[in-house]
Amino acid sequence: MIKIGNIQLKKKPSRDNLLNFAISHLNKSERKTLTLFASSLILLSFLDVIGVIFLGALGALLISGISVRGAGNRLQVFLEILKIDTFDSNSQLLIVAITAILILLLRTILTVHLTRKTLQFLSAVAAKLSSQLFAKVLSRGFAFMKNMPFQRVQYAINKGVDVIFVQSLGTTLTIISDSTSLVLIFLALFFVDPIVSISSTAMFVIVGLLLYRLLSNRAKHISYMKTEFEINSNTRVGEAFSIYREIFVRNGEELYSSRFESLRVKSARLVAEATFLPNITKFFIEASLVFGASLIGILQFLIHDSYRATATLSLFLAASIRIAPAVIRIQQSFLIIRSNAGQSEPTIMLLQAVLRLEETYIQEAKSDLVNEFATKEAVRFDSVQFDFDDGHRLFEDISFNIDKGEFVSIIGKSGSGKSTLVDLMVGLERQNSGNISVFGLPPKEFIRDFPFGVSYVPQVVALIEGTIRDNILIGLDNSSISDEQILAAIKCAQLEEFVELLPYGLDTQLGPKGRTLSGGQRQRIGLARALLKDPQLLVLDEATSSLDATTEKKFMETILGLKGKITIVMVAHRLDVVEQVDKAIVLHGGKIVAIGKFAEVRKQVPNIDDDAIILNL
């Protein structure tokens, strides 16, 4: 049983069917284009055999001049076909040599050009499929995303896709092209000397199969381990940056460095071994060519006269100029594909997890919405049940409603389910049973149909590397929002004075993850982000937790100024905030223990004042 995120796969993905997997994810048009490239490379292989024939003829001319004895009969026919049989020997040599060079040079140039175009096509396909896979991952929702190991997903979406669709398919086309060339060359040799052709073919097939058997499993294992070490190394670096303060005060830099060094040393050894493996093929093929040429030379001189033996050997040596590189490329290409099977495993597993994810949640019935936001109820929960991934049940039978324009506070001790309730409300999580609606629609459908109808400010606002403008416009097209709209949102979030003091205003760079900002400034950027497109439902999950008293007061003034204009749901713990809401929902142990105006709730829950104060403890 293989686990990726919270998804159990029944069996490990088959790495031997990598090419079938890659081709199955191409559309009809892409398959036709790939077939066209493969056919073109095969046609170019015919230039190889023509070039080899000219090289063989050149060798025969050098040996015999214009003699037509024995094997020379074939040479005479060849010269007659070229209509140069009546030329003097020097002219024949020059014509045959120049033609051979031009043919082989043309073959090389066209192959390079076509290979480049093929790889550009495959790279474009990989980029498209990476985007589609990323979109599939995002579309699976928060429950899927929160359990996915980030570094593994990042590797799978980027490098893993390139390995499958660029390296593997591109390498396969190389195998097809070189294999066709070898077949044609061996057919040409068979025409000259069947025994030489059959024996040399058998020799290279045996050597190739032997090398593949010896090296393929090792190559697969090395690539798999390299992938794991690369992912783990990136994970350690990411951890060190994210918890650097804790590492520093614990004097843990050396420990993290040593762990990283251990991974890199192991990875470096594998890189060295992976780099060396192709050299084994090269050494074996070169040795096989020397052995084959010597054996053919000996046999030819024993069986035939010196002229024919020399002519046949010269043709074999001429063919070897193309045979050796082709055999090496084929053998190394098979090793690359075998290696790619290990490197592509994270991508294959991620695709399986995305595509085979069993829907454990109910299908929510879509309600009709006659007019946008016309319903009186902004939010409604009906008998909602929610279980965590491990089967632990948080909510058994939650029911409540929030009217349009209400300011509602959710309060309760840590672990009572406040954040999960908010996640259900905005569609990040999905219930196991019951119904949830936002303005009459399931949360996800409402967000899809009205993308800016809901805004959300989390307890910790995440920032990206970029400008103030970039961080406020996350998820929006820059061209669709004016500076006036951005500045209006900044003003509402009490961030106007801060932005005015920045050297480049909205275009000031914040640095990696906004590390130069205080917690309060980050939170206000999150609020400006949320207020940018005039939402109908504003959800704040402990949004004031990082604010000082003065800033929190201004922040709440902004929120209270929106009261009645939009629906506000706020997870809060300060009494001075809770006392100003229209409705308070009190959670305890995954259950609603009280709901109503704060004065009513206070009567129902005698210790509510303590609960409100210690909520975050």
pLDDT at residue 274 is higher than 50: yes
Mean pLDDT value across the chain: 76
Q: Which of the residue ranges 198-212, 307-321, 502-516 would you say has the lowest mean pLDDT?
A: 307-321
What 3-state DSSP class applies to 30?
helix
pLDDT value of residue 36:
93
Q: Does domain 377-613 have CATH number 3.40.50.300?
A: yes
What are the sequence ranges of the domains in the chain?
Answer: 14-355, 377-613
Does the structure show a pLDDT above 80 at 455?
Answer: yes
pLDDT at 116 exceeding the cut of 80 = yes
Whether the per-residue pLDDT at 99 is higher than 80: the answer is yes
**Does the pLDDT of residue 105 top 80, yes or no?**
yes
Predicted confidence at residue 55, as pLDDT, reads 75
Residue 205 has pLDDT above 80, yes or no: no
Query: For residue range 554-579, what is the model confidence (pLDDT) as tens digits?
Result: 777 778 888 888 899 998 766 667 77
Q: What is the pLDDT of residue 368?
A: 44
- Over range 253-265, report the average pLDDT: 78
Domain spanning 14-355, CATH class:
mainly alpha
Buried b (16+ CB within 10 A) or exposed e, 421-439: bbbbbbbbbbbeebbbbbb
Among 435, 431, 365, 362, CA closest to 400? 435
pLDDT for residue 617: 30
Between residues 8 and 501, the one the model is more confident about: 501
pLDDT attached to residue 369: 42
As a whole number, mean pLDDT of residues 512-517 equals 72
- Token pair, residue 174, equals 């190389």
Kindly state the percentage of the chain with pLDDT values over 70: 77
* pLDDT category of residue 469 using cuts at 50, 70 and 90: confident
Specify the pLDDT at position 511: 72
Give buried/exposed letters for 349-365 (b at 16+ CB in 10 A, else e). Answer: bbbbbbeebeeeeeebe
Which long-range CB contacts under 8 A does 89-97 form with residues at least 24 apart? 89/61, 89/65, 92/61, 92/66, 93/58, 93/61, 93/62, 96/54, 96/57, 96/58, 96/61, 97/58
More confident: 501 or 18: 501
Binned at pLDDT 50, 70 and 90, residue 615 comes out as very low
- In one letter, which amino acid is 476? L
Which element (helix H / strand E) includes 264?
A: helix 253-303
Segment 574-607, tens digit of pLDDT? 666 777 788 989 888 888 888 988 888 888 876 6
Separation of CA 336 from chain center = 19
Q: What is the pLDDT of residue 10?
A: 43
SS (H, E, C) 80-121: HHCCCCCCCHHHHHHHHHHHHHHHHHHHHHHHHHHHHHHHHH
513, 469, 170: which is closest to 340 by C-alpha? 170
The predicted structure's pLDDT at residue 14: 43
User: Which residue(s) pair with 592 in the sheet?
Assistant: 587
Q: Is the pLDDT of residue 532 over 80?
A: yes
pLDDT band, residue 329 (cuts 50/70/90):
confident
The percentage of residues in the chain with a pLDDT greater than 90, rounded to a whole number, is 6
Q: CA–CA distance from 478 to each of 474, 485, 496, 607 (Å)?
A: 9, 11, 20, 49
More confident: 196 or 268: 268
Torsion-angle region of 11 (φ positive above 0: left; ψ -120 to 50: alpha; else: beta): beta
What local confidence, expressed as pLDDT, does residue 5 receive? 45
User: What pLDDT is stored for residue 141 in this prediction?
Assistant: 64
Residue 132, Ramachandran bin (φ over 0: left; ψ between -120 and 50: alpha; else beta): alpha
CA 456 to chain centre: 28
Q: CA 383, CA 607: separation in Å to the nearest integer?
A: 27
**Region 96-103 average pLDDT:** 88
**DSSP conformation class of 156:** I
Which two three-digit tokens encode residue 42?
């095969």
Q: Residue 192 has what pLDDT?
A: 66
pLDDT reported for residue 72? 52
Residue 407's pLDDT is: 92
Name the more confident of 269 and 285: 269
Q: What is the pLDDT of residues 12-28, one digit of tens each?
A: 444 446 777 788 888 88
- Nearest of 60, 46, 55 to residue 96 by alpha carbon: 55
Q: Tell me, what's the pLDDT at 41?
A: 87
Is the overall model pTM greater than 0.75, yes or no?
A: no
* SS3 of residue 597 by DSSP: coil
pLDDT tens by residue, 51-93: 877 877 777 777 665 444 443 566 777 778 888 878 887 888 8
Rounded CA-CA distance 250/252 in Å is 5
**What span, in angstroms and rounded, lies between the C-alpha atoms of 319 and 325?**
11
